Amino acid sequence: MQIALKQRAFPDASGVARGSRNGTTNRPLIALILAGIFLGCSPIFVRLSTVGPVTTAFWRLSLALIPLIVLSRVRTEEDDSRKQPRVASEYMVAALPGFFLAGDLAVWHVSLHMTSVANATLLANMAPIFVTFGSWIFFRQRVTRIFLAGLALSIVGIVVLKGGLSAMGADHILGDLLALSASVFYAGYIMVVGWARKRFQSGAIMLCSTISAAVCTLPLARSFENGFFPATLMGWAILCGLAWISQTAGQSLITYSLGFLPAAFSSLTLLIQPVIAAMIAWLLLGEALSASQIVGGLIVIAGIGLARRG
């Protein structure tokens, strides 16, 4: 299957993609927003899984390989300037994001069982802080004051959405620390994917990094958890939903969008994940949103809009 983009978007001096007036360059932003929606479903899948958290991470990655093998054959016009890995060193570059992804998924899945979903989601979405400073330190990417203001506003919105700082009590300190460490791993993943996308096609990066992440999580799952295979069809259905909706669709859209958008802005836009998670919990689990949660969600959206202008 051939997917052609009419015009490729190029970053301007401020690092924000720009292109033709026909709206073509809106596609990466739309893809990024969809990625946030799909990834916002993942906490529900993880909590409903009938196997251990690290085992869930392994199946999330392994089952995702099925559609990724198909997607790896899909080419876009913007990928024509990039290539497939050919030698061992190039495969290592394409697989490098997977090491960060494995760390992110393993510790975050564990944190979801050691602290509240609210705390785990909030702390895991602190990745924009580390992405912004990491991009500044390692890639010398310019950060504007407006962008930082949007970042700060979005973080405030997430805190309000999750019930304030008081909700992060010391009773779950280990789970909270694990969730925070997951955000560090995910920040590394975002930055390394952005770097690898300058050399290789998105399908190749997704396939290689998912394989390397699955290889990393397998020994952890087998060593520390029991019940490797789900016992029911519902258990398998939950893992398939996690793998194909959150992992394949969500991460593939992120990888595609990072070929056009700066890593710092991309990670900030993905802050809509907690908003989506709260809405799904309201609709499916009967957890009604409070006034503070609604206000917090609106603040997050306002922060994203402000950062987009910056």
Query: Tens digits of per-residue pLDDT, 81-136?
Result: 557 778 888 888 889 999 999 999 999 999 988 877 767 777 787 777 777 777 77
CA dist 172 and 66 (Å) reads 36
Identity (one letter) of the amino acid at 218? L
Lowest mean pLDDT among 61-70, 145-154, 162-171, 225-234: 162-171
Kindly report, residue by residue over 5-59, the tens digit of the pLDDT: 333 343 443 344 444 444 456 888 888 888 888 888 888 899 889 999 999 999 9
Q: Is 116 left (phi over 0), alpha (psi -120 to 50) or beta?
A: beta
Task: Write down the mean pLDDT value for the chain.
Answer: 78
With a CB cutoff of 8 Å and minimum separation 6, the contacts of 42 are 242, 246, 247, 250
Task: Pick the range with the lowest mean pLDDT from 2-11, 60-69, 182-191.
Answer: 2-11
CB 193 within 8 A of CB 105: no
The closest of 300, 309, 6 to 153, measured between CA atoms, is 300
> What is the sign, positive or negative, of the torsion defined by CA atoms of 177, 182, 185, 186?
negative
| pLDDT at 115 (0 to 100) | 76
Cβ atoms of residues 97 and 189 within 8 Å = yes
Q: Return the domain boundaries, the chain.
A: 25-309
Any idea which residue has 């390692």 for tokens? 138
Distances (CA, A) of 186 to 38, 46, 129: 16, 17, 11
Spatial separation of the C-alpha atoms in residues 250 and 41, rounded to whole Å: 10
Are the C-beta atoms of residues 274 and 126 closer than 8 Å to each other? no
Amino acid at 136: W
Mean pLDDT of 176-203: 85
| Residue 97 to residues 46, 196, 259, Cα–Cα distance (Å) | 22, 8, 15
Question: Do 34 and 254 touch, CB atoms closer than 8 A?
Answer: no
Inter-residue contact 183 to 125 (CB < 8 Å): yes
Least confident of 72-81, 102-111, 169-178: 72-81
Greater model confidence, 185 or 292:
185
**Quick one: pLDDT band at residue 215, thresholds 50, 70, 90?**
very high
Q: Which of 33-37, 114-118, 153-157, 237-241 has the highest mean pLDDT?
A: 237-241
